[in-house]
């Protein structure tokens, strides 16, 4: 295998100057957590506290409630509408500060919010959405009293049925600040930069066209703050993204939209997208409505026409063809690492090893259940295997071939929580790519209307200027920074409980996992 | 390039009020009458549509439920008066197999003839029963067996129905002198008879014309046939036991179906005598004896086509722990391979085929083609409420249906299914649907993936 990779120790001597460093001055973004409240007036609440006409405005409720639900502003005669989203619900009864019980006039009632039933789906239940919003707001997980299930969804399989077997107490005590969550993206030792990212995830490709430039820039700035990456997707490289070049992955996909030599030279990582999990084997689609003048310009296409990236790369029908492509990019940008993004067919393990031998630094496997862009419904649940099956397969095959430590394995396609990240790593990935969760942090409700007409009514996945104006870059950046902070905290907590100093120790530790649908007695089975 | 199979479509809007998943409940009493009411800002203009709808209301009980569920108005209302809810009418539709989501997507395809597309990834359960416990494969960078397709327009979806020769024999310089007749269909789908529960006589003309427009075949009970001779090319009579054979009409058809029975071989001979060039399918109900019976029938040299039919939900008929159509099909398919006669027989399978992916998956499991009926009924805005009985009110008013509307909707649905079949085949790197048959290598099954992945790590699956 090793003979495939060309030693490049001397590349610095033969390089054109401009491919060695970033040309545009890079902007700093701080990682500090700052509160970034919802941009909507009414937050979605799980419970409703109803105050009826018996209320004598005695103020008892405001006094007992520990969560600031009841507000009687000084000088006001009436209570403001209860801040329902702050209410912890029926579990409050046990606290001894239950307003409903304490109200001397029986004026209060607590109900489940019927609205909550309409929020979320199997993969992203309402709890997970609300909890993710909280993390994006505060930079921390929601307080335990709220009882949100934010570690997994409700899909009944895969990550949602996997659990960690935590020891009763950590084998060694390690301070949170001593724990290293960084991973390295170049394991080839081929003389190209040894890029490390501070958290074991980076942002997935979402093109300008599929999301607004506010969304793209927010993602890029958060990546900068957290010393990780974001990806342009297939749709061109905005000039406004250039101050974050060092944290951008640019994509070369089958449509080659917006791919130019010069854009390839800007970045430290170039990603080849063969397929994507949301629509494996179907190429990319951008419906005509979303192909606005700005999008068309960037993609060098005609306004209003649906744009299709074909599947597959018609210039790649073998690993040798693939290698030729990688060599081409490596030549154009002598400092770039190469990532190869593939979907999860039966032979995903072979594809991974093939990509390694062609010279890729990162094998990125994208399972079927994620994705943010427009995809035919038939593709979403039916084509290619869920990522949970693919990770272990690829990890093992790479190990059996003796190259596991020469390539970085990144998994994506349905990573919704920090626990999903940890589970993916325990199954054998080095790190993950995330997508949907960043959009949720920006206020996505998963209504899945991103594809048509003017696009996302919440201004996230749209190129309609009026809709996109619903969000600003500072707020968007902060929301994602906060989310990352909360996730890292959870991840550090997991590592602490296992007594691990570095997230790299977790990789492939399937022995730390159990599956709720299995007997978990594998020793006995043999 | 030979002429491509193409179904002409045009949008056919629904006649009944749309039944959306979400609706708005508006607690008006506290409304502040804001100048800039959030209702005006609905990207989909739902409130205005609702007002128009109410203004023109003919049916007092109908509510307007067509919100897209973006929560924007709910979250922006000055007084927080708006509440979204799931439409109870929506939840009531269909049953546990034919879910409201299936009904809704079928309506959409029947209206637009388009492949349903949405954003935000997959929302459903990890896996499920029946067809939801398998995934189709796709082909990545390398695939030694891949067809190397360069575009969807090169994918063929046509199938041949009839008995095929095990090998070519040369006889008096003529190849295939004794070959049996074959019927070629441009897509692996036949329209089956509607179940007795949903048999509405006024549907037959619509179904017949849809078969003509899409150039597939519809099976229609010979006793109910009232169509024109011109349509007969796309009709297959179902001739019940003891029924007279409609000799003249039969000569204009290519395929005929008869029920299985003790004297089925004699019946075949009888029909062949009248019309030697016709292909005869035997309808085998998948009761507990169905699988074995289908296998047995395949051994007979007279049998050309076996049409296996499970119940409407794809289950073995009358069993308390029923097998599912895909598993029964695999059983039959595999048994025929073992007997060495799989390629000679055409296997049509019906029951429980509710979505286009089921068509692809059922073919992967071993059927040559599939048969459907309920999806076409649903395309006419049927709710599967099972009220199609005299004296009950059909919410889709199927008793007064307009033929152009009906044909348009059904044709659109079939076109959308065809396009989706091409999509999944494109992903698999397959150029011919004939080659998809029984190619389980192009699929991944839940049980296998679980065992290979988690079984190895975590022991045995508990609920097995
Ligand atoms: S405790 Fe009861 S009566 Fe007193 S202000 Fe609250 S709701 Fe009104
Ligand atoms: S139930 Fe508890 S948290 Fe909710 S409003 Fe009452 S006191 Fe506050
Ligand atoms: S359209 Fe809906 S699902 Fe798509 S990004 Fe916007 S809020 Fe999220
Ligand atoms: S939730 Fe969204 S789609 Fe529904 S009515 Fe309100 S603004 Fe319109």
**pLDDT tens sequence across B221-248:** 999 999 999 999 999 999 999 999 999 9
Q: Where does the pLDDT of residue B399 fall: very low under 50, low under 70, confident under 90, or very high at 90 and above?
A: confident
Q: Which of A73, A89, A118 is the last residue of a domain?
A: A118
Which one of the ligands is nearest to B123 CA?
3
Which candidate from B70, B79, B423 shows the least CB-CB separation from A445? B70
Which residue of B lies nearest to A310 if distances are taken between CA atoms?
B151
Ligand 1 contacts (CB < 6 A) are: A 51, 55-61, 103, 105, 107-108
Residue A271, phi then psi, degrees to nearest 5: -110, 130
pLDDT digits (tens, 9 = 90+) for A111-164: 999 899 999 999 999 999 999 999 999 999 999 999 999 999 999 999 999 999
Q: Where does the pLDDT of residue A370 fall: very low under 50, low under 70, confident under 90, or very high at 90 and above?
A: confident
Inter-axis angle of helices B403-428 and B203-214, nearest 10: 40
- Checking if the pLDDT of A4 tops 50, the result is no
pLDDT at A525: 43
- Checking if the pLDDT of B385 tops 60, the result is yes
Among the ranges given (A470-479, A491-500, B168-177, B236-245), the one the predictor scored with the smallest mean pLDDT? B168-177
Which one of the ligands is nearest to A53 CA?
1
Q: How far apart are CA B184 and CA B208, in angstroms?
A: 18
Per-domain boundaries in chain B: 26-92, 148-450
Domain assignment present for residue A216? The answer is: yes
Measuring from atom 8 of ligand 2, which residue has the nearest CA?
A65
Tell me the chain A residues in contact with residue B444 when contact means C-beta distances shorter than 8 Å: 346, 385, 389
Q: Could you give the percent of chain B with pLDDT greater than 70? A: 92
- Do A213 and A76 fall within a single domain? no
Mean of pLDDT values over B187-193: 97
State whether the Cα torsion A275-A278-A282-A284 is positive or negative: negative
Q: The domain spanning residue A70 has which CATH number?
A: 3.30.70.20
Q: Tell me which of B73, B118, B122, B452 to substitute to probe the interface with A (most A C-beta atoms closer than 10 Å).
A: B122
Tell me the chain B residues in contact with residue A444 when contact means C-beta distances shorter than 8 Å: 120
Mean of pLDDT values over B345-358: 97
- Checking if the pLDDT of A9 tops 60, the result is no
Secondary structure element (H or E) that encloses residue A275, with its range = none
Instruction: Give the pair of three-digit tokens for residue A268.
Output: 């430290």
Q: Where does the pLDDT of residue A297 fall: very low under 50, low under 70, confident under 90, or very high at 90 and above?
A: confident
Let me know: does B417 contact B189? Beta carbons within 8 Å.
Answer: yes
SS3 A100: helix
Which one of the ligands is nearest to A457 CA?
3
- Checking if the pLDDT of A3 tops 50, the result is no
Query: Measured between CA atoms, how close is B106 to chain A, in angstroms?
Result: 12
Instruction: Determine if ligand 3 sits within 6 Å of the CB of residue A460.
Output: yes
User: Side-chain half-sphere of A197: how many Cα atoms within 13 Å?
Assistant: 29
Instruction: Determine if ligand 2 sits within 6 Å of the CB of residue A231.
Output: no
β-bridge mates for residue A431, sequence order: A410
Pocket mutation for ligand 4, best pick of B36, B50, B84 (most atoms within 8 Å of C-beta): B84
pLDDT at A16: 53
Q: Where does the pLDDT of residue B154 fall: very low under 50, low under 70, confident under 90, or very high at 90 and above?
A: confident
Q: What is the 3-state secondary structure (H, E, C) of chain B?
A: CCCCCCCCCCCCCCCCCCECCEEEEECHHHCCCCCCCHHHHCCCCHHHHHHHHHHCCCCCCCCCECECCCCHHHHHCCCCCEEEEECHHHHHCCCCCCCHHHHHHHHHHHHHCCCCEECCCCCCCCCCCHHHHEEECCCCCCCCCCCCCCCHHHCECCEEEECCCCCCCEECCEECCCCCCEEEECCCEEECCCCHHHCCCCHHHHHHHHHHHHCCEEEEEHHHCCCCHHHHHHEEEECCCCCCCCHHHHHCCCEEEEECCCCHHHHHHHHHHHCCCCEEEEEEECCCCHHHHHHHHHCCCCCCEEEEECCCCCECCCCCCCCEHHHHHHHHHHHHHHHCCHHHCEEEEECCCCCHHHHHHHHHCCCCEEEECHHHHHHCCCCCCCCCCCCCCCCCCHHHCCHHHHHHHHHHHHHHHHHHHHHHHHHHCCCEHHHHCCCHHHEEEHHHHHHHHHHHHHCCECCC
Measuring from atom 8 of ligand 4, which residue has the nearest CA?
B42
Q: Where does the pLDDT of residue A315 fall: very low under 50, low under 70, confident under 90, or very high at 90 and above?
A: confident
Q: What is the 3-state secondary structure (H, E, C) of B67-91?
A: ECCCCHHHHHCCCCCEEEEECHHHH
Give the distance (Å) from ligand 3 centre to CA of residue A439: 8
Query: Measured between CA atoms, how close is B16 to chain A, in angstroms?
Result: 23
Give the distance (Å) from ligand 1 centre to CA of residue A110: 13
- Checking if the pLDDT of A11 tops 60, the result is no
Instruction: Give the position, in ligand 4's atom list, of the atom nearest the Cα of B22.
Output: 4
- Do A438 and A330 fall within a single domain? yes
Query: Measured between CA atoms, how close is B279 to chain A, in angstroms?
Result: 33
pLDDT digits (tens, 9 = 90+) for B404-439: 999 999 999 999 999 999 888 888 888 899 999 999
Q: How far apart are CA B299 and CA B340, in angstroms?
A: 9
- Do A298 and A387 fall within a single domain? yes
Domain that holds residue A87: 45-118
Supply the DSSP string of A337-367, one letter for each residue. EEEEEE---TTHHHHHHHHHHHT-SEEEEE-
Instruction: Give the position, in ligand 2's atom list, of the atom nearest the Cα of A100.
Output: 6
Domain assignment present for residue A141? The answer is: no
- Checking if the pLDDT of B149 tops 60, the result is no
CB-count burial class (<10 Å; 0-12, 13-18, 19+) for A472: middle
pLDDT digits (tens, 9 = 90+) for A54-96: 999 999 999 999 999 999 888 888 888 899 999 999 999 999 9
pLDDT at A311: 67
Query: Measured between CA atoms, how close is A169 to chain B, in angstroms?
Result: 23
Output the CA–CA distances (angstroms, integers) from residue A380 to A123, A276, B19, B257, B367, in the order listed: 13, 11, 24, 37, 24
Which residue of A lies nearest to B147 if distances are taken between CA atoms?
A317
Domain assignment present for residue A370? The answer is: yes
Instruction: Give the pair of three-digit tokens for residue A504.
Output: 């790299």
pLDDT digits (tens, 9 = 90+) for A409-431: 999 999 999 999 999 999 999 99
Output the CA–CA distances (angstroms, integers) from residue A313 to A252, A256, A452, B316, in the order listed: 10, 10, 26, 43
Mean of pLDDT values over A369-392: 90
Inter-axis angle of helices B325-339 and B356-364, nearest 10: 30
pLDDT at B145: 39
Q: How far apart are CA B460 and CA B464, in angstroms?
A: 8
Q: How far apart are CA A15 and CA A21, in angstroms?
A: 11
Chain position carrying tokens 């809704």: B104
Mean of pLDDT values over B41-55: 83
Which residue of A lies nearest to B75 if distances are taken between CA atoms?
A42
- Checking if the pLDDT of A12 tops 60, the result is no
Domain assignment present for residue A306? The answer is: yes
Q: Could you give the percent of chain A with pLDDT greater than 70? A: 92
Measuring from atom 1 of ligand 4, which residue has the nearest CA?
B71
- Checking if the pLDDT of A512 tops 80, the result is yes
pLDDT at B178: 62
Query: Is residue A353 within 8 angstroms of chain B, CB to CB?
Result: no
Measuring from atom 4 of ligand 1, which residue has the nearest CA?
A58
Q: The domain spanning residue A506 has which CATH number?
A: 3.20.20.70
Among the ranges given (A15-29, A173-187, B189-203, B292-306), the one the predictor scored with the smallest mean pLDDT? A15-29
pLDDT at B62: 57
Residue B81 CB contacts under 8 Å (≥ 6 apart), including other chains: B26, B27, B28, B30, B31
Q: Where does the pLDDT of residue A6 fall: very low under 50, low under 70, confident under 90, or very high at 90 and above?
A: very low
Q: Supply the ipTM of this predicted assembly.
A: 0.92
Which residue of B lies nearest to A416 if distances are taken between CA atoms?
B121
Query: Is residue A79 within 8 angstroms of chain B, CB to CB?
Result: no
Q: How far apart are CA A478 and CA A35, in angstroms?
A: 8
Query: Is residue A104 within 8 angstroms of chain B, CB to CB?
Result: no
β-bridge mates for residue B221, sequence order: B238
The span from the first CA to the last CA of chain A, in angstroms, equals 33
Let me know: does B48 contact B446? Beta carbons within 8 Å.
Answer: no
pLDDT at A2: 41
Which residue of A lies nearest to B457 if distances are taken between CA atoms?
A522
- Do A427 and A501 fall within a single domain? yes
Q: Where does the pLDDT of residue A13 fall: very low under 50, low under 70, confident under 90, or very high at 90 and above?
A: low
- Checking if the pLDDT of B19 tops 60, the result is yes
Instruction: Determine if ligand 2 sits within 6 Å of the CB of residue A90.
Output: no
**pTM across the whole model:** 0.93
Tell me the chain A residues in contact with residue B354 when contact means C-beta distances shorter than 8 Å: none
- Do A59 and A182 fall within a single domain? no
Output the CA–CA distances (angstroms, integers) from residue B142 to A103, A286, A408, A483, B138, in the order listed: 70, 26, 21, 38, 11
Helices (H), A308-417: 319-332, 348-358, 377-382, 387-400
Domain assignment present for residue A161? The answer is: no
pLDDT at A293: 84
Q: How far apart are CA A447 and CA B18, in angstroms?
A: 18
CB-count burial class (<10 Å; 0-12, 13-18, 19+) for A90: middle
**Mean pLDDT across chain B:** 89
Query: Measured between CA atoms, how close is B327 to chain A, in angstroms?
Result: 17
Query: Is residue A526 within 8 angstroms of chain B, CB to CB?
Result: no
Instruction: Give the position, in ligand 1's atom list, of the atom nearest the Cα of A108.
Output: 7
Let me know: does A374 contact A451? Beta carbons within 8 Å.
Answer: yes
Name the residue among A361, A202, A380 with its Cα closest to residue A276.
A380
Mean of pLDDT values over A213-221: 95
Output the CA–CA distances (angstroms, integers) from residue A261 to A209, A316, A321, A330, in the order listed: 21, 19, 19, 11
Which candidate from B68, B74, B127 shows the least CB-CB separation from A157? B127
- Checking if the pLDDT of B464 tops 60, the result is no
Query: Measured between CA atoms, how close is B151 to chain A, in angstroms?
Result: 8
Inter-axis angle of helices B403-428 and B356-364, nearest 10: 50
- Checking if the pLDDT of B141 tops 70, the result is no
pLDDT at B406: 96
Q: How far apart are CA B106 and CA B104, in angstroms?
A: 5
Tell me the chain A residues in contact with residue B69 when contact means C-beta distances shorter than 8 Å: 118, 445, 447, 449
Which one of the ligands is nearest to B66 CA?
4
Residue A208 CB contacts under 8 Å (≥ 6 apart), including other chains: A216, A232, A233, A235, A236, A238, A294, A295, A298, A463
CB contact under 8 A, B141 and A510: no
Query: Is residue A115 within 8 angstroms of chain B, CB to CB?
Result: yes
Instruction: Give the position, in ligand 2's atom list, of the atom nearest the Cα of A108.
Output: 6
Tell me the chain B residues in contact with residue A317 when contact means C-beta distances shorter than 8 Å: 141-142, 148
- Do A315 and A437 fall within a single domain? yes
Q: Tell me which of B79, B138, B148, B453 to substitute to probe the interface with A (most A C-beta atoms closer than 10 Å).
A: B138
Report the domain count for chain A. 2
- Checking if the pLDDT of A326 tops 80, the result is yes
pLDDT digits (tens, 9 = 90+) for A37-57: 999 999 999 999 999 999 999
pLDDT at A5: 42
Name the residue among B121, B86, B127, B126 with its Cα closest to residue B104.
B86
Mean of pLDDT values over B278-298: 97
Q: Tell me which of B126, B358, B418 to substitute to probe the interface with A (most A C-beta atoms closer than 10 Å).
A: B126
Which one of the ligands is nearest to A146 CA?
2
Query: Measured between CA atoms, how close is A318 to chain B, in angstroms?
Result: 5
Q: How far apart are CA A242 and CA A245, in angstroms?
A: 5
Pocket mutation for ligand 2, best pick of A99, A111, A113 (most atoms within 8 Å of C-beta): A99
pLDDT digits (tens, 9 = 90+) for B90-114: 999 999 999 999 999 999 999 999 9
- Please tell me the class of the B148-450 domain: alpha beta
- Do A62 and A200 fall within a single domain? no
């Amino acid at each position: 295998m090793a003979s495939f990779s060309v030693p490049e120790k001397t590349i610095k001597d033969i390089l054109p100057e401009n491919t060695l460093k970033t040309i545009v001055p890079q902007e700093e973004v701080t990682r500090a957590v700052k509160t970034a409240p919802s941009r909507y007036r009414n937050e979605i609440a799980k419970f409703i506290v109803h105050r009826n006409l018996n209320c004598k405005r005695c103020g008892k409720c405001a006094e007992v409630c520990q969560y600031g639900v009841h507000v009687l502003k000084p000088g006001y005669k009436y209570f403001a509408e209860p801040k329902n989203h702050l209410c912890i619900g029926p579990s409050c009864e046990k606290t001894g500060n239950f307003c409903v019980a304490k109200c001397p006039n029986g004026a209060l009632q607590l109900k489940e919010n019927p609205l909550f039933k309409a929020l979320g789906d199997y993969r992203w239940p309402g709890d997970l959405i609300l909890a993710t919003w909280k993390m994006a707001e505060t930079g921390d997980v929601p307080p335990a009293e709220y009882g949100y299930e934010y570690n997994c969804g409700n899909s009944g399989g895969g990550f949602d049925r996997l659990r960690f077997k935590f020891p009763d107490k950590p084998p060694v005590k390690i301070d949170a600040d001593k724990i290293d969550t960084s991973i390295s993206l170049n394991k080839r030792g081929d003389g190209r930069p040894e890029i490390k990212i501070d958290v074991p995830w980076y942002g997935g490709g979402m093109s300008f066209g599929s999301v607004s430039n506010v969304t793209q820039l927010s993602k890029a700035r958060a990546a900068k703050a957290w010393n990780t990456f974001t990806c342009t997707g297939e749709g061109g490289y905005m000039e406004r993204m250039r101050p974050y070049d060092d944290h951008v992955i640019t994509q070369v996909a089958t449509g080659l939209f917006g791919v130019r030599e010069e854009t390839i030279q800007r970045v430290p990582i170039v990603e080849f997208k063969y397929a994507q999990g949301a629509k494996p084997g179907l190429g990319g689609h951008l419906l005509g409505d979303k192909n606005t003048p700005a999008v068309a310009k960037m993609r060098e296409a005609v306004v209003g026409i649906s744009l299709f990236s074909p599947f597959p790369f018609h210039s790649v029908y073998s690993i040798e063809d693939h290698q030729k492509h990688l060599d081409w990019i490596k030549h154009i940008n002598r400092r770039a690492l190469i990532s190869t993004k593939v979907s999860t067919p039966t032979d995903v393990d072979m594809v991974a090893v093939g990509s390694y031998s062609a010279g890729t630094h990162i094998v990125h496997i994208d399972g079927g259940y994620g994705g943010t862009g427009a995809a035919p419904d038939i593709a979403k649940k039916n084509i290619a295997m869920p990522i949970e099956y693919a990770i272990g397969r690829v990890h093992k095959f790479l190990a059996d071939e003796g190259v596991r430590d020469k390539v970085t394995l990144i998994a994506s396609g349905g990573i919704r929580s920090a626990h999903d990240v940890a589970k993916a790593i325990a199954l054998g990935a080095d790190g993950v790519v995330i997508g949907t969760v960043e959009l949720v942090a920006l206020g996505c409700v998963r209504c899945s209307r991103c594809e048509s007409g003017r696009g996302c009514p919440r201004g996230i996945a749209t190129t309609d200027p009026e809709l996109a104006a619903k969000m600003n870059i500072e707020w968007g950046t902060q929301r994602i920074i906060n989310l990352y902070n909360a996730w890292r905290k959870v991840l550090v907590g997991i590592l602490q409980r296992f007594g691990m100093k570095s997230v790299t120790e977790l990789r492939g530790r399937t022995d730390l996992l159990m599956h709720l649908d299995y007997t978990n007695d594998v020793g006995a089975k043999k | 390039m030979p002429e491509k199979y193409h179904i002409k479509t045009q949008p056919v809007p629904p006649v009944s009020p749309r039944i959306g998943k979400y609706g708005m409940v508006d607690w008006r009493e506290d409304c502040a009458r804001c100048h800039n009411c959030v209702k005006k800002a609905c990207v989909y203009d739902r409130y205005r549509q609702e007002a128009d709808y109410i203004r023109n209301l003919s049916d007092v009980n109908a509510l307007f439920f067509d919100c897209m569920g973006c929560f924007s108005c709910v979250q922006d209302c000055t007084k927080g008066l708006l509440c979204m809810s799931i439409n109870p009418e929506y939840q009531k539709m269909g049953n546990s197999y034919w879910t409201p989501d299936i009904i809704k997507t079928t309506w959409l395809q029947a209206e637009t003839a388009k492949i349903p597309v949405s954003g935000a990834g997959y929302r459903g359960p990890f896996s499920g029963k029946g067809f939801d416990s398998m995934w189709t494969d796709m082909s990545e960078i390398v695939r030694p067996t891949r067809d190397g397709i360069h575009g969807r327009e090169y994918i063929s979806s046509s199938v041949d129905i009839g008995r095929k020769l095990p090998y070519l024999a040369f006889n008096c310089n003529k190849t295939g002198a004794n070959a049996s007749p074959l019927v070629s269909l441009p897509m692996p789908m036949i329209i089956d008879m509607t179940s007795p529960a949903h048999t509405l006589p006024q549907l037959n003309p619509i179904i017949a014309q849809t078969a003509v427009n899409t150039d597939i075949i519809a099976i229609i009970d010979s006793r109910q046939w009232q169509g024109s001779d011109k349509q007969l090319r796309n009709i297959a009579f179902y001739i019940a036991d003891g029924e007279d054979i409609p000799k003249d009409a039969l000569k204009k058809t290519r395929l005929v179906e008869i029920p299985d029975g003790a004297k089925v071989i004699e019946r075949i001979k009888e029909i062949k005598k009248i019309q030697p060039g016709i292909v005869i399918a035997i309808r085998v109900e998948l009761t507990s004896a169905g699988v074995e019976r289908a296998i047995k029938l395949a051994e007979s040299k007279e049998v050309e086509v076996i049409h296996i039919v499970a119940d409407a939900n794809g289950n073995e008929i009358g069993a308390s722990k029923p097998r599912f159509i895909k598993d029964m099909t695999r059983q039959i398919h595999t048994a025929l391979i073992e007997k060495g006669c799989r390629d000679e027989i055409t296997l049509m399978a019906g029951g429980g085929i509710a979505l286009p992916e089921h068509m692809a998956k059922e073919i992967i499991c071993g059927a040559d083609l599939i048969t459907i009926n309920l999806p076409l009924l649903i395309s006419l805005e049927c709710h599967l409420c099972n009220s199609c009985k005299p004296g009950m009110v059909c919410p889709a008013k199927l008793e007064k249906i307009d033929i152009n509307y009906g044909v348009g909707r059904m044709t659109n649905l079939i076109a959308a299914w065809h396009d989706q079949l091409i999509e999944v085949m494109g992903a698999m790197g397959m150029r011919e649907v004939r080659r998809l048959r029984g190619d389980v290598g192009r699929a991944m099954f839940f049980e296998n993936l679980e065992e290979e992945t988690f079984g190895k790590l975590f022991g045995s699956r508990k609920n097995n």
